[in-house]
Chains A and B, each alone.
Chain A
Amino acid sequence: MSLQIRLHVNGNAVTADVSPDTLLVTFLREHQHLTGTHVGCDTASCGACTVLVDGIAVKSCNVLLAQVQGCQITTIEGITPADGSLHPMQAAFKACHGLQCGFCTPGMIMSAIDLVTHHEHASEAEIRAGLQGNLCRCTGYHNIVRAVMQAAPIMRGTQS
């Protein structure tokens, strides 16, 4: 059985014929060659595969492509402005050194964007709790939290 799926990936309309068991992450990485979305644990624990579906963070290793028929998917490749500059969350991760090996970073950034978008004035404790679904095995959590706190006012446009 093959399914025809239509959806938008980073603003582009995409049509695909896939087997029903195709995971969203497999489609993004292997069919769309968007390898910024990482597969860490493949058990919905680590959050490295986090992408936005209609603006909401999900673990793409735990979602079938068929379930997001017609949706808007945003991956780490889709958040940078057209001029090639960094998204404020990326810039803050860079400025705060919110990464070590970098493997968890795309998922952390997508998760953090969702968190700040839906919870503009999150406290440090709320940011820590909000990032529970993303694991950093380098254990560099302090700088990640600092980066999110630095990016939040920039994202809500109160500080440039």
Chain B
Amino acid sequence: MPTLSYHRPSSIAEVARLARDDPDAKLLAGGQSIIPSLKLGLLAPSALIDLGGLPELRGVRLEGRSLRIGAMTSHAEVANSPEVRKHVPALAHLAAGIGDRQVRNRGTIGGSLANSDPAADYPAAVLGLGAEIRTDRRAIPADSFFKGLFETALDPDEILTAVEFPLPERAAYVKFPQPASRFALVGVFVSLTGKSVRVAVTGAGPCAFRVAALEQALAKRFAPESLHDITMPADTLNADLHGSAEYRAHLIPVLTRRAVTQALA
């Protein structure tokens, strides 16, 4: 690992100052993606700015009709949170399926979203629930947050502080895990709130995306049968040794049907 500097600030203002003063520094959340990347030489920041000393970035709070989850809340904390389990059980289920127990104890929701790994689980929930990303300077709607492979709308020195999830009437997340890593080969998050249906897919493209054709069909009638005639084009999807683009395209409506069935259960 390259030698670097390390900071552990105790206020958001200090994080912001350090990030502004050193454009080559990286924010460190749980470290479950950044530390392996440092070891592999995929990243060589000048410094790490550890957010671990900021307790105000941790925790889950119900605020009216939305659930606010602090950026430094671990996957295990989300999975076990009574508020999440009660109000958005699909989100607790998603968090309980990330990586393995040790990774869930360290990895954080903010770290996962800022990283925007194409096969990460959380982006599907953020997009599938129409959440809002809160930062030290603004609120970013989920629909304009994910920009591409490991690319988000965050400015280089911007600090993701929390995510606000509106409470859905029905929601479910179903993933087809890559068996070794349990990253999503394809994962689909569906939600129904009033007449609004959202279908968000992870694992299949450069970043998480919504599928208008599936949403429109489900908006007419929220039932698995509504999707029987729909096929997905494979031309823009990911292909790797675990699955071809055609295989991923096939999985999207299959997993969406399963998610709708679960959401209705």
Residues of A near any B CB (own CB < 8 A): 1, 3, 19-21, 23, 42-45, 47, 50, 56-59, 62-64, 66-67, 69, 111, 114-115, 130, 132-134
Contacts and interface: CB of A to CB of B under 8 A. Distances in A.
B8 to A, nearest CB: 7
A134 B181 CA distance: 12
Contacts, number: 78
Nearest to A59: B102
B1 A62 contact: no
Q: Dominant SS at the B interface?
A: mixed
B6 A58 contact: no
A132 B6 CA distance: 32
B212 to A, nearest CB: 35
B264 interface: no
Instruction: Give the one of A1, A23, A58, A67 with max B CB within 10 A.
Output: A67
A57 B105 contact: yes
A69 B6 CA distance: 12
B50 interface: yes
B36 A67 contact: no
Contacts of A114: 101
Interface stretch (B27-35, B82-90, B136-144, B230-238): B27-35
B52 interface: yes
B40 to A, nearest CB: 8
25 contacts: A1-B3, A1-B5, A20-B4, A20-B5, A21-B2, A23-B35, A43-B36, A44-B35, A44-B102, A44-B103, A47-B100, A56-B105, A58-B105, A59-B102, A62-B35, A62-B103, A62-B106, A64-B35, A67-B28, A67-B50, A67-B52, A111-B101, A132-B101, A133-B100, A133-B103
